[in-house]
Amino acid sequence: MPITPFHFGPGALIKVIAPRHFSWTIFALANVLIDLEPVVLFLLIGDPAHPWLHTLPGAIGVATLAATLGRKPLEGVLVWWNRRLAFGWQTRWLTVEPGIPRSTAWLSALIGTLSHLALDSIMHADVHALWPINSGNAIQGLISLGMLHGLCMVAAVVALLAHLVARRFAPHGAPARSNR
């Protein structure tokens, strides 16, 4: 890791940059799935290691799972979310586009796991992201943990502000189709 939620900030920033081609929910699911590896290993052997899923083949495998099995259930969650919103400020500010096209799901899942590998490689010496092409980790320690977490949080704040500005200027009653 950085613990999983820190990865969500850069994902939110990508969402505001390319809203129609990126699903934040699929991105988040892919990040949660890949971090089941250190969580489960910690519970089993007391070591939150990254031996399999935090590699190129592992990340592609996790992305495949998220894009194929996650798409329909997440669309259902987004429909459910929209239905719970009260008409008025909630529908104006919180409505999301519930459809996730297949291509968007694949792109978002791959960005999710591959960006996860990049960030985790900076933090953890045992992440061999490019295995089996290249074992080792050349970018571990590139920036400090505090700086890494700070940048992830800045990305989240910038994304939130951009979202609020976009909704503020969206036609009333027609939220931008941008917040999956």
Interface residues with Zn ion (CB under 5 A) are 1, 35, 120
Comparing CB distances to Zn ion, the nearer of 31 and 178 is: 31
Nearest distance in Å: CB 146, Zn ion: 18
- Residues 2 and 149: beta-carbon distance below 8 Å: yes
Nearest distance in Å: CB 33, Zn ion: 10
The rounded distance, in Å, linking the Cα atoms of 50 and 37 is 7
Comparing CB distances to Zn ion, the nearer of 75 and 120 is: 120
**Which one, of 99, 78, 88, 3, lies nearest residue 42 by Cα?**
3
Nearest distance in Å: CB 91, Zn ion: 35
Comparing CB distances to Zn ion, the nearer of 2 and 70 is: 2
Residue-wise burial string across 10-33, b where 16 or more C-beta atoms lie within 10 A, e elsewhere? bbbbbbbeebeebbbbbbbbbbbb
